[in-house]
Amino acid sequence: MHACKHNRMEIASILCCYLLYQLALPKPIPGIPYNEVSVRGLLGDLPALARHVKDGGNFASYALSTVRALNSPLVQIFVRPFGKPNVLLADFGEARDLLLHRKEFDRSRVAGDLTKGFAHDHHIKLKTGEAWKSQRRLIQDLMTPNYLHNVAGPVVYQKARMLMDLWRIKAEIAGERPFEASDDVFRGALDGVMSFCFGERFRDTAMGPAIDALHELDRGAMELKHDGNPREPVKFHVPPLNAVLESIVTISETPLQVQGSPWPGLKWAFVLRNKRIAQAVEVKERYIHDELEAIVERLRASENDAEKSAVHHMVLRERALAEKEGRAPQYFSRVMIDEVFGFIFAGHETTSTTIGWGLKLLADNPHVSSKLRTVLRASFALAWSEARQPTMQEIARAHIPYLDATLEEIQRCGGTTPIIDREAVVDTQLLGQHIPKGTNVACLVMGPSMMEPGLVGEGTRTIHTDKGTKVKPWDPSNISSFDPERWIADKNGAEVFNPAAGPQLAFGLGARACYGKRLAYLQMRIFFSLLLWNFELLPCPPVLSDYSSGLVITNKPKHCYACLREVNSFK
């Protein structure tokens, strides 16, 4: 009797375990292809993903390889044990419709999961609605041409000039040998976005110490370091950043630790217990608070409120909004601090990665760089004849289709943000397949129909809406080549830039597309104009010019070197 009862309990518990196991196995969405092996274990695609990463891949390249292997524009993978499948969408037409028109999809919770440890109340996590709209009011108008050209532009331009100064010295020392460029580009982009935020108050730059270090350099000792081998990169000392900038770098690396965790809240609590990270957050909080305070103080002291920086603009907005709503302004709220930090974390790594890709693409396509240089010389004819640098106003206001086209093509081929996530907020459909509420849909920016021929036949797309015009697909014969001409159209015999020439997802689309897009374009416009004005980009040795990448926060080139020859000595 006793033994029998024991036996029955054992059977029951085995049965129970078996049922739990069955329940915990990945549950595919019917009709959407997946890797067969992935549904046989609790870990789904994770073992295969781990192998892929070990071989030098990353999440985005795994997603792409799955789409290719299953030869389907809509697939599912299982990367969250006990969680829902992740749907991958690799088709521009369907993705465009989803992002632009379909209310059934909204900001995915992934964005909030990855940022809540250091910018808990930033609007990136909010679903599109009243709360999001009202928070965006704080940063409204910062991307208008007027603001960008007159307030942000001049300080951003000045930082780009510093980078050119730095590279003039490096080019002279390196003597046409390659040197590592990504740290310098990173410093330039960081200084650029910090200047956008804090205006002229931001003086303790990332570029300053890099330039100082070069002035102090013992050039004789340097010469010895590269063994005289002209293909060997010259190694320059990388000076440390100041405490504030270092804290930004430290914080920017944290999302990587949280990425893919099934319990992001717990994971953040763990990550923030790290002393170095906790300190970085504290330094960042204090800095932003002090900057806000300085501006509020100045505002109290004088009513002269000509806008001087993005943070200044936000303080004025908050004052005006509070007045309108009949409440006291909250200058130091979590929202204010997180929105300021939002510019920095969303703006520095993205811009510097894209500029890094641009540097490589232009060095490897000399016909493009020399055409662009010729076009720039014609456009800034006055600066050329006066043997000087083009000014900020000249660069910002000139109408140069080939420059616009080149920047657009760098965005397309760089693939800085290779995935754009959305979440189904109701049960819905994609490409004719059922998508349950709560499913994360990852739109692939670099895959079929973007950088390689598409997989979807006309007629299979959902296209619920007939809003907007259709975008013509890229010609499959040259879809993967770097060629700015694809963005150029002919209008009554004149070259014009056509931003709708074909598929592009670099900044996302729709209401939740990149907020900072115009600032990013301005920074790139200034950087590449000055770069080609001053230097010829020589090709780097093949070992330093491959296109492998690592997905850190953005999809960064593993090798980013510059081999520069000064083309003039204009001041």
Ligand X SMILES: *[C@@H]1O[C@H](CO)[C@@H](O)[C@H](O)[C@H]1NC(C)=O
Report in angstroms how near the CB of residue 513 gets to ligand X at its nearest: 25
Span interacting with ligand X, options 69-77, 200-208, 223-231, 478-486, rule CB under 6 A: 478-486
Q: Does residue number 476 form part of the binding site for ligand X (CB under 6 A)?
A: no
Shorter beta-carbon distance to ligand HEM: residue 174 or 526: 526
Strand partners of residue 75? 88
- 180 vs 114, 167, 169, 518, 557, CA distance in Å? 30, 11, 14, 28, 12
Q: Is the Cβ–Cβ distance between 330 and 322 less than 8 Å?
A: yes
Span interacting with ligand X, options 194-202, 417-425, 456-464, 480-488, rule CB under 6 A: 480-488
Q: Does residue number 477 form part of the binding site for ligand X (CB under 6 A)?
A: yes
Shorter beta-carbon distance to ligand HEM: residue 61 or 354: 354
Shorter beta-carbon distance to ligand HEM: residue 233 or 347: 347
Q: Does residue number 478 form part of the binding site for ligand X (CB under 6 A)?
A: yes
Chain CA centroid to CA 459, Å: 33
413 labelled binding-site residue: no
Q: Does residue number 453 form part of the binding site for ligand X (CB under 6 A)?
A: no
Q: CB under 5 to 8 A by kind: which of ligand X, ligand HEM, none does 350 bind?
A: ligand HEM
Among candidate residues 232, 234, 248, the one with its CA nearest the CA of residue 187: 248
Q: CB under 5 to 8 A by kind: which of ligand X, ligand HEM, none does 420 bind?
A: ligand HEM
Q: Is the Cβ–Cβ distance between 551 and 381 less than 8 Å?
A: no
CA atoms within 13 A on the CB side of 255: 20
Among candidate residues 248, 247, 187, 250, the one with its CA nearest the CA of residue 214: 187
Burial 237-269 (b: 16+ CB within 10 A, else e): eebebeebbbbbebbbebbebbebbeebeebbe
Shorter beta-carbon distance to ligand HEM: residue 124 or 207: 124
Q: Phi first, then psi: what are they for 34, rounded to 5°?
A: -155, 170
Report in angstroms how near the CB of residue 40 gets to ligand X at its nearest: 44
Report in angstroms how near the CB of residue 363 gets to ligand X at its nearest: 20
Residues that bind ligand HEM (CB under 6 A): 99, 107, 123-124, 193, 342-343, 346-347, 350-351, 354, 416-417, 420, 506-509, 512-516, 519-520
Among candidate residues 531, 188, 570, 158, the one with its CA nearest the CA of residue 376: 531
Q: Report how far residue 553's alpha carbon sits from residue 350's, in angstroms, rounded to the nearest whole number.
A: 8
Q: CB under 5 to 8 A by kind: which of ligand HEM, ligand X, none does 443 bind?
A: none
- Give me the 483-502 binding string for ligand X, x by CB under 6 A, dash otherwise: x-xx----------------
Pairing of strands 561-562, 535-537: unpaired
Q: CB under 5 to 8 A by kind: which of ligand HEM, ligand X, none does 305 bind?
A: none
Q: Report how far residue 240's alpha carbon sits from residue 250's, in angstroms, rounded to the nearest whole number.
A: 13
Residue 453 is classified by DSSP as: -
Q: Does residue number 52 form part of the binding site for ligand X (CB under 6 A)?
A: no
Q: Report how far residue 483's alpha carbon sits from residue 486's, in angstroms, rounded to the nearest whole number.
A: 6
Residue 205 CB partners (closer than 8 Å, separation 6+) = 159, 162, 187, 191, 194
Q: CB under 5 to 8 A by kind: which of ligand X, ligand HEM, none does 486 bind?
A: ligand X
Q: Does residue number 475 form part of the binding site for ligand X (CB under 6 A)?
A: yes
Residues forming the annotated binding site for heme? Answer: 514
Residues forming the annotated binding site? Answer: 514
Binding residues for ligand X, rule: CB under 6 A, are 475, 477-478, 483, 485-486
